[in-house]
Structure 1
């Protein structure tokens, strides 16, 4: 029977600390701030067995996403200029907007789906999401798909 692999996107604050430390150890190895796995795990405070157990299963969201498309779902207030601020925010990170779909606002709140192409020159995806979340009038943001 084939192994069914499922992927989930989960906010950092919901992850157990060991997963975050594994990601940190991998970054130390990639940046050569740690030359061995033992040095990396010692620096972040986890065991080698924890590192080996999770190293192939946890990756930052933005890793290997360049040249891909992400689709974001939002709930936002129906206010003049808010959509323009959101689009400018994405443009400031040099991401290419592919599609936009906005529902008719109900009770002053619209649902928006936006697909963004991540280019080699695009800034950090996490920063883009955080900047959108910080806009006044944006109530909810979810990453719906990553292709």
Structure 2
């Protein structure tokens, strides 16, 4: 009997170390830093059996979003140029914006929802969020759906 898998998004710091090491070994293999599982597991400091046990179950969040349409929800201060600055961050990072929906500002802030295709991203999803959050006037920036 096959069970339908359940997925959780968990902050990396809360994961057991083995999952992080498996993800690192997979990264080394995918980037060509190493060419064998033996070398990847040796460098990551795990056994091959641990790697094979978890390799299909551990995947960085960014990998799950790569090449997909992702919906971002951003809360912006109602000030000229803030949305434009955020859109420039997406453009410079390689995100292809498909939709923009902005609510009427209330209490000095406006909620903006951006739908973007992420296959052309030249930075990680975390870096894109960090760059958007660094824009003066951005109160919050998070992934709503992906």
Partners of 1:91 and 1:52 lie apart in 2 by: 38
Output the TM-score relative to the length of structure 2.
Answer: 0.81
1:58 aligns with 2:61: no
Q: Tell me how many residue pairs correspond in the alignment.
A: 145
Q: Is the 8 A contact 1:62 1:124 kept in 2?
A: no
Q: Judging changes above 3 Å, is the alpha-carbon distance between structure 1 residues 55 and 97 closer, same or farther for their aligned structure 2 residues?
A: same
1:48 aligns with 2:42: no
Partners of 1:108 and 1:16 lie apart in 2 by: 42
Three-state SS of the structure 1 residue aligned to 2:61 is coil
1:79 aligns with 2:79: yes
Partners of 2:83 and 2:143 lie apart in 1 by: 18
Three-state SS of the structure 2 residue aligned to 1:62 is helix
Q: Judging changes above 3 Å, is the alpha-carbon distance between structure 1 residues 20 and 144 closer, same or farther for their aligned structure 2 residues?
A: same
Q: What is the CA-CA distance between 1:92 and the residue it aligns to?
A: 1.0
Unaligned runs of 5+ in 1: none
Three-state SS of the structure 2 residue aligned to 1:74 is strand
Partners of 1:74 and 1:8 lie apart in 2 by: 23
Partners of 1:95 and 1:52 lie apart in 2 by: 33
Partners of 1:107 and 1:53 lie apart in 2 by: 51
Offset from partner CA, 1:63-110 (integer Å, 9 cap, x none): 365542111112222221110000011011232211111222222222
Q: What is the CA-CA distance between 1:35 and the residue it aligns to?
A: 3.3
Q: Judging changes above 3 Å, is the alpha-carbon distance between structure 1 residues 58 and 95 closer, same or farther for their aligned structure 2 residues?
A: same
Three-state SS of the structure 1 residue aligned to 2:115 is strand
Q: Judging changes above 3 Å, is the alpha-carbon distance between structure 1 residues 132 and 27 closer, same or farther for their aligned structure 2 residues?
A: same
